[in-house]
Structure 1
Amino acid sequence: MQAAENTPQQNESPREKLLRAERSVSERVFEREVHIRGLSVGILARAHVLLLGPKGCAKSALSRLYCDLIAWDGVPEGQDPYFRTQLRPASTEDEIYGPVSNAGFEDDTFRRNTTGMVPRAKLAVLEELYTAGSLLKSLLTIMNEGLFKNGTLPEERVPLRLLIATSNDVPADRDENLDAFHDRFLLRYQVDYLQDRRNVRKMMERANSSEAAAREAVSPILTERDVDAAIQEARKVDVSPVFDAIDEILAELADREIVPSDRRREALVHLVKAQAYMNGRTAATRADLDILAHALWEDPDGDQIRAVAEVVLRQANPHAAEARDRFDRATDSYNNAMRAHREAARNPGDEALQRAESDAGMNANVALKQTTDKLLELRDAAKTAGADTGLIDGLLKKVLEMNEEVTSKCLGI
């Protein structure tokens, strides 16, 4: 598998290499396509990425695999091409900036030996981010201005392209300093456990086979020159065709008292440029605005994330927004049928409950079939408009699964 994925294609562009890198990671960590795209957009837009989720949902594996796919210049053989560490409440600056240099004392300077540490890294992965507390404040200048003050030495520019951080959650009682640090992550993603039972099965089957080791090993697909070329091309993308749509998103969010900082609002342009580039466009369309669903929420409570996704989706992909509404209505019919089935199962001798189960099952079956037809229609319309169909495809799969359960349990078919 590795040989095929890393075989250079004839006249392969940097964008095509990035897409191949995304496929390589998605083959190893399931249901993470959206998060993987976020890392690509992050590196093109120089936008740091925060991955939030429970332990054991492959946040670290996702980060490591993506970073391994880029070969950076000037990295000694055998040395990791990126910096990675797991933070703790007791973590010190030595762990991310390097230990104090003894040689510095000989010439009356205070400086750190930064070799192999964050100030020398082009990519950095900080795990369990928010356990480190006050230490995080020291990263603000590196993350935003790309500058590092090494002791008494003059301030210097760092080569950091992208910082990926993982955490189980964001502190609810964060102070002003931690709030400023949190705002430096322009892209924020929630990572959940696998939802599709078939993917859980595939994961277990792979763990039971020789492919388990293959998941852990990837070879670089992109060079630093490829990344630089992709960044330059992404910067050329024209975002002005969607300025009105971005204005509408921000205005509706303001009505809901969700107001991003000026820094973040300015950065939205660069995120859309990168997303449009990855989608193969030189001018952004509304379909490229879907990336903003991961850039405009502040607190990881479900209500705010859902509100932002809803507002963005209506502008970026109205077909998907309608599909979600249709799905929600069909889910109500499904839930009614499942409640009737449980009641009938608990009272097998009650004829009224048996009839109620059958009626609810038939109603749900009709509603789910109609929803399936409508989702297929919306998917075709989204394709024609050049919009992503991933959300509609996912809803369509769930509707088909629900109808299969209804016909089996309620109708005995």
Structure 2
Amino acid sequence: MGAHDVHDEQDTARTLRAISGELSDRFYERDDVVRTLVVTLLAGQHSLVLAGQHSLVLGPPGTAKSEMARELTGRIEGASYWEILLSKFTSPTRMFGPIDVAALARGEYRQVYDGRATTAHIAFIDEIFKCSTAALNETLGYLNERIYHPESGGEPISCPLIGAITASNELPSGEDLAAIYDRLLVRIEVGYLADPSNFAALVRSAVRRPVPQTRTTIELAALQQAVTDGVPAVEVPDMIVDAVCTLRAALRRRELVASDRRWRQSVSLLQASAYLDGRPAVAETDLSVLTHVLWDSPAERPAVEREVLQLVNPDAKEALDLADVIEELETQLDAMAGQSREALSEWVIKKAHNKLAMAGKRLEKLRLEAAGSGRSTAAIDRVAGRQRAVRARVLTEALGMDASMVQAQL
């Protein structure tokens, strides 16, 4: 790669970081989600041309899944974008191209592909696991090989899809849908806002006039260049290979087994993570992205996250230990529902207050240390949000403080 090419790649990475930052500012508590979606689009499948990976955003309704996808994909200038909300009755022709009725009247059988999945560079597929039986095989071919078989037969059509962002409120049921789930390399869980200050800002945003935001965009050609040339050029040092082998062994001891294909595909995610940060080689911090790759059910995700962070990010591992303390306090608060205010106050004074205060101070210190060392603060920030949320519950439910007073203290 020449000096000019390196300069272009650095510009592309800077632009993508700017886009990630703007989206993180807009969507509260979604920094890691946004970054992971960008990394996934960048992470090429080396056997295919101009092809990134696919992601699944898993979470309840009303968590900005579709809005994030639209806002991200809308920043790619020149890209053809297609989205659909699937149901059990969605036909393949609605997805890939309806029949041309005018041509049919002339005795010609053909499909209209413009504006459909067949011509899209980026796709957003909502409720992916409601894919109809009729559309299942074509959807798999579309995601796997980027091809579509026309209704009239003949040669398959090559689709320019770089990557698909998919979303669902629930996990798939049945072996047929499991095949689609397996093809979604990155799986990101989202939930409702945990931090009371972020929730308050969300409520305020509903009544305030929106302030014009900076809107950075990137050219489609620059993104394609990054996928095909920039990301594959990122080096993967032997120490990273050793770390991945160590992680695989640690997960196997916990009976968490990912396929060899999934491990192999994850290498491109590591390269994409380094590329986005403007680094020529993968570093240990990039391994954090694997927390979104190596689990099948959400129940397995915490164990995967602990093993990954124990390997690459000791301060985040400590934050997860603090999360256990915080969750235990919330469980105790739930169990005390209906008890007298005196009993609740005594519990706060003797147990909850000190533990929550100590956890908060330690999390602040861990975040400073992580940020100062260039490590990801995503896990620490998430736990800090939980600490503030539980503290707010303790103050309002156990001590009877007014919500506005609690907000001022937080």
TM-score above 0.5: yes
Instruction: State the alpha-carbon separation in 2 of the partners of residues 334 and 291 from structure 1.
Output: 28
* 1:386 Cα deviation from its structure 2 partner: 2.7
Higher mean C-alpha deviation, range 254-263 or range 401-410: 401-410
Alpha-carbon deviations, 1:82-133, whole Å to 9, x = none?
A: 0111112211011111013468879998642212211111011111222223
* 1:164 Cα deviation from its structure 2 partner: 1.1
Instruction: State the alpha-carbon separation in 2 of the partners of residues 178 and 321 from structure 1.
Output: 34
Instruction: State the alpha-carbon separation in 2 of the partners of residues 220 and 332 from structure 1.
Output: 42
Task: Say if 2:241 is the partner of 1:235.
Answer: no
Instruction: State the alpha-carbon separation in 2 of the partners of residues 224 and 121 from structure 1.
Output: 12
- State the partner residue of 1:383: 371
Higher mean C-alpha deviation, range 277-286 or range 360-369: 360-369
Instruction: State the alpha-carbon separation in 2 of the partners of residues 141 and 109 from structure 1.
Output: 26
Q: Could you tell me which of 308, 313, 330 is aligned with 1:312?
A: 308
CA pair 161-370 structure 1, distance change in 2 beyond 3 A? same
- State the partner residue of 2:99: 100
- State the partner residue of 1:289: 287
CA pair 381-199 structure 1, distance change in 2 beyond 3 A? closer
Task: Say if 2:43 is the partner of 1:47.
Answer: no
After TM superposition, list the pairs within 5 Å mapping 1:7-406 onto structure 2. Answer: 13-45=11-43, 46-72=52-78, 81-101=80-100, 111-134=110-133, 135-150=135-150, 151-172=152-173, 174-175=174-175, 177-211=176-210, 221-231=217-227, 232-240=229-237, 241-300=239-298, 303-329=299-325, 332=328, 343=339, 345=341, 348=342, 358=346, 361-396=349-384, 398-399=386-387
Unaligned 5+ segments in structure 1 are: 1-9, 74-80
1:155 maps to a residue whose letter is P
Instruction: State the alpha-carbon separation in 1 of the partners of residues 392 and 180 from structure 2.
Output: 47
Alpha-carbon deviations, 1:368-408, whole Å to 9, x = none?
A: 44444543443344335431123224434554676687789
The number of residues matched between the two structures is 382
CA pair 170-360 structure 1, distance change in 2 beyond 3 A? closer
Instruction: State the alpha-carbon separation in 2 of the partners of residues 157 and 11 from structure 1.
Output: 27
CA pair 403-40 structure 1, distance change in 2 beyond 3 A? closer
Report SS of the residue matched to 2:131: helix
Paired residues of 1:86 and 1:126 also in contact (CA < 8 A): yes
Alpha-carbon deviations, 1:152-179, whole Å to 9, x = none?
A: 332342210011111111223x12x322
Paired residues of 1:70 and 1:220 also in contact (CA < 8 A): no
Q: TM-score, normalised on structure 2?
A: 0.81
Paired residues of 1:111 and 1:153 also in contact (CA < 8 A): no
Paired residues of 1:272 and 1:291 also in contact (CA < 8 A): yes
1:391 maps to a residue whose letter is A
* 1:296 Cα deviation from its structure 2 partner: 1.2
CA pair 146-170 structure 1, distance change in 2 beyond 3 A? same
Report SS of the residue matched to 1:124: strand
Please tell me whether Structure 1 or Structure 2 has the larger radius of gyration of its CA atoms.
Answer: 1
Paired residues of 2:196 and 2:389 also in contact (CA < 8 A): no
Instruction: State the alpha-carbon separation in 2 of the partners of residues 404 and 167 from structure 1.
Output: 30
Paired residues of 1:338 and 1:406 also in contact (CA < 8 A): no
* 1:270 Cα deviation from its structure 2 partner: 0.3
CA pair 102-250 structure 1, distance change in 2 beyond 3 A? same
Unaligned 5+ segments in structure 2 are: 1-7, 44-51, 402-408
Instruction: State the alpha-carbon separation in 2 of the partners of residues 368 and 91 from structure 1.
Output: 49
Paired residues of 1:297 and 1:304 also in contact (CA < 8 A): yes
Report SS of the residue matched to 1:83: strand
CA pair 406-119 structure 1, distance change in 2 beyond 3 A? closer
Paired residues of 1:310 and 1:321 also in contact (CA < 8 A): yes
Report SS of the residue matched to 1:99: coil
Identity %: 27
CA pair 230-328 structure 1, distance change in 2 beyond 3 A? same
CA pair 142-108 structure 1, distance change in 2 beyond 3 A? farther
Instruction: State the alpha-carbon separation in 1 of the partners of residues 54 and 311 from structure 2.
Output: 24
CA pair 158-307 structure 1, distance change in 2 beyond 3 A? same
Paired residues of 2:194 and 2:385 also in contact (CA < 8 A): no
2:168 maps to a residue whose letter is S
- State the partner residue of 1:7: none
Higher mean C-alpha deviation, range 27-36 or range 161-170: 27-36
2:19 maps to a residue whose letter is A
Instruction: State the alpha-carbon separation in 1 of the partners of residues 126 and 267 from structure 2.
Output: 28
Report SS of the residue matched to 2:26: coil
2:377 maps to a residue whose letter is T
Report SS of the residue matched to 2:57: strand
Report SS of the residue matched to 2:193: coil
Q: TM-score, normalised on structure 1?
A: 0.80
2:383 maps to a residue whose letter is L
Report SS of the residue matched to 1:189: strand
Instruction: State the alpha-carbon separation in 2 of the partners of residues 307 and 208 from structure 1.
Output: 41
